[in-house]
């Protein structure tokens, strides 16, 4: 595989302090108790999908792999921990040598998931696994929420283009992660150059209202843009009067004008009027792009409009009302020592509320009906039934501390398209409902 297929490997600082203090204090106590080396299995999963969602989308696995690789404590970090009295001397010495040496299995990026799905399984000593909890959850909860919103918007768009343009609506680093997750979920391009640089996501962008307002007339602004970017550019036509702007745009760029963008007003009505006007002017191939606080419901409402692409910002990068997936990271099995021959014993929190979990090192498979459509997410801790052997979902991601499953982002994007297509048709309905398939335990 050409390394360029994976995007540019931008230097990442250590991720070791992207964690909660109690991860380190647990390590200190376990080291003192002699239990830190006990062989352990942790799993990341969610007990329920966000309200109204019929399926989840796995995103962030590639970023998790980067985070695990970069999880180490440098001298400056160790000095900080010592000065703040976070942990004691022996623990600092242990942290100084920390590198994850275990195994990680998980759902591949782009796959769909359901309540209880063991999205990530981390195996190693208790100490080395527990340290990764916070950074793993912060990545998976954020990226999977964005990917799920993107998937819903992609389904609503029905094959029309989708532009991610939410960088100005979130933290600058979250914007890059959001663009990556949105691409997995079905978006075609991003306006964020950092995301394009790092992940090879196609980038787009032309001009804002400020560019039109800069010039003495709208015609001058259009002429400047066309002279610089060519007739195939996209002209923003709602700064003043849309009808006049469309006429001027075609006069300046000719019928070869690439596209016009509408950013305000009644988008359904305006799009129909603009399409009619463009056709009457002979610009029958000129596309129409609409923006303006869109979400999946607004996109669905424009299905009958002559729109060619949607630009989505705020609602996308905030998960369209569901900014997290409520994933948790729980110890599900452990041995009594570091001896690989010692059997693992299932462990689980018991609770009277909704926070109980199922112990045991799990496998997952998706059972299909006679038409090849998913009918259940099957999760078990024993032997995998023969009829599900070729439907298992977890793949090996890290072996002995070494990443073994990096892939191009397009592979995750294509996987999601296939995974969503393999769900019952009701999965893409925007009406609220339960998970589109049940979770069954064996």
CATH number at residue 120: 3.20.140.10
Q: Is residue 189 part of a domain?
A: no
337, 250: one domain:
no
> In this structure, how many other beta carbons lie within 10 angstroms of the beta carbon of residue 436?
20
349, 284: one domain:
no
Q: Is residue 176 part of a domain?
A: no
86, 29: one domain:
yes
291, 337: one domain:
no
Which of 307, 341, 360 is a domain's end point? 307
Q: What angle do CA 418, 378, 62 make, to 5 degrees?
A: 50
Q: What angle do CA 35, 363, 332 make, to 5 degrees?
A: 25
Q: Is residue 192 part of a domain?
A: no
20, 132: one domain:
yes
120, 241: one domain:
no
284, 341: one domain:
no
- What pLDDT band is residue 133 in, cutting at 50, 70 and 90? very high
Which of 260, 280, 307 is a domain's end point? 307
Q: Is residue 195 part of a domain?
A: no
- Give the per-residue pLDDT at 275: 98
Q: Is residue 151 part of a domain?
A: no
Q: What angle do CA 158, 162, 163 make, to 5 degrees?
A: 175
Concatenated DSSP letters of 164-189: E--GGGS-HHHHHHHHHHHHHHT--E
| 368-423 residue pLDDT tens | 999 999 999 999 998 999 999 999 999 999 999 999 999 999 999 999 999 999 99
19, 48: one domain:
yes
The CA distance from 397 to 183, in Å, is: 21
Q: Is residue 156 part of a domain?
A: no
8 Å CB contact between 110 and 181: no
Q: Is residue 196 part of a domain?
A: no
Residue 300 pLDDT greater than 70, yes or no: yes
The CA distance from 40 to 124, in Å, is: 6
140, 48: one domain:
yes
- What pLDDT band is residue 3 in, cutting at 50, 70 and 90? very low
- Assign residue 274 the CATH number of its domain: 3.20.20.70
Looking up tokens 């002279």, which residue turns up?
A: 227
16, 117: one domain:
yes
Provide the domain count of the chain.
2
330, 359: one domain:
yes
The CA distance from 24 to 95, in Å, is: 9
Concatenated DSSP letters of 381-442: SSPPPGGGGGGB--EEEEETTEE-----HHHHHHHHHHHHHTS-GGGG--S--S-SS-EEE-
| pTM for the predicted model, two decimal places | 0.94
Which of 279, 307, 335 is a domain's end point? 307
| 140-179 residue pLDDT tens | 999 999 999 999 999 999 999 999 999 999 999 999 999 9
Domain that holds residue 285: 206-307
Q: Is residue 178 part of a domain?
A: no
Average pLDDT rounded to a whole number, residues 417-430: 96
The CA distance from 286 to 272, in Å, is: 13
Whole-number mean pLDDT of the chain? 95
- Which residues touch 232 (CB under 8 Å, ≥6 apart)? 256, 257, 258
52, 141: one domain:
yes
């Amino acid at each position: 595989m050409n390394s360029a297929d994976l995007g540019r490997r931008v230097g990442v600082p250590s991720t070791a302090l992207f964690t909660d203090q109690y991860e380190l204090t647990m390590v200190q106590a376990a080291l003192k108790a002699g239990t830190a080396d006990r062989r352990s299995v942790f799993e990341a999963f969610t007990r329920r999908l966000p309200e109204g969602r019929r399926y989840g989308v796995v995103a962030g696995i590639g970023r998790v792999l980067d985070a695990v690789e970069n999880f180490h404590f440098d001298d400056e970090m160790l000095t900080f921990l010592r000065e703040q009295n976070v942990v004691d001397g022996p623990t600092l010495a242990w942290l100084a040598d920390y590198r994850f040496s275990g195994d990680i299995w998980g759902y591949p990026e782009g796959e769909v998931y359901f309540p209880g799905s063991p999205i990530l399984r981390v195996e190693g000593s208790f100490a080395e696994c527990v340290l990764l909890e916070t950074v793993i959850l912060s990545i998976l909860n954020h990226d999977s929420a964005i990917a799920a919103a993107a998937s819903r918007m992609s389904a609503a768009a029905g094959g029309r283009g989708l532009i991610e343009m939410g960088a100005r609506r979130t933290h600058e680093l979250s914007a890059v992660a959001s663009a990556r997750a949105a691409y997995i979920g079905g978006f075609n391009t991003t306006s964020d150059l950092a995301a394009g640089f790092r992940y090879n996501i196609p980038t787009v962008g032309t001009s804002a209202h400020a560019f039109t307002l800069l010039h003495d007339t709208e015609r001058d602004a259009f002429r400047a843009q066309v002279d610089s970017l060519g007739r195939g550019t996209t002209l923003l036509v709602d700064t003043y009067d849309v009808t006049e702007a469309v006429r001027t745009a075609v006069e300046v760029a000719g019928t070869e004008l690439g596209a016009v963008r509408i950013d305000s007003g009644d988008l359904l009505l305006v799009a129909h009027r603009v399409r009619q006007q463009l056709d009457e002017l002979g610009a029958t191939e000129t596309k129409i792009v609409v923006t303006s606080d869109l979400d999946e419901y607004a996109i669905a409402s424009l299905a009958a409009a002559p729109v060619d692409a949607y630009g989505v910002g705020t609602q996308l990068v905030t998960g369209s009302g569901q900014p997290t997936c409520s994933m948790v990271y729980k110890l599900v099995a452990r041995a009594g020592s570091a001896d690989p021959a010692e059997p693992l014993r299932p462990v689980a929190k018991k609770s009277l509320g909704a926070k109980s979990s199922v112990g045991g090192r799990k496998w997952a498979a998706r059972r299909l009906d006679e038409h090849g459509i998913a009918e259940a997410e099957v999760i078990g801790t024993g032997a995998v039934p023969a009829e599900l052997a070729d439907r298992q979902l977890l793949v090996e991601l890290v072996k002995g501390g070494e990443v073994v499953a990096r892939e191009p982002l397009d592979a995750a994007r294509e996987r999601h398209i296939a995974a969503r297509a393999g769900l019952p048709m009701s999965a893409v309905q925007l009406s609220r409902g339960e998970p589109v398939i049940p979770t069954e335990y064996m």
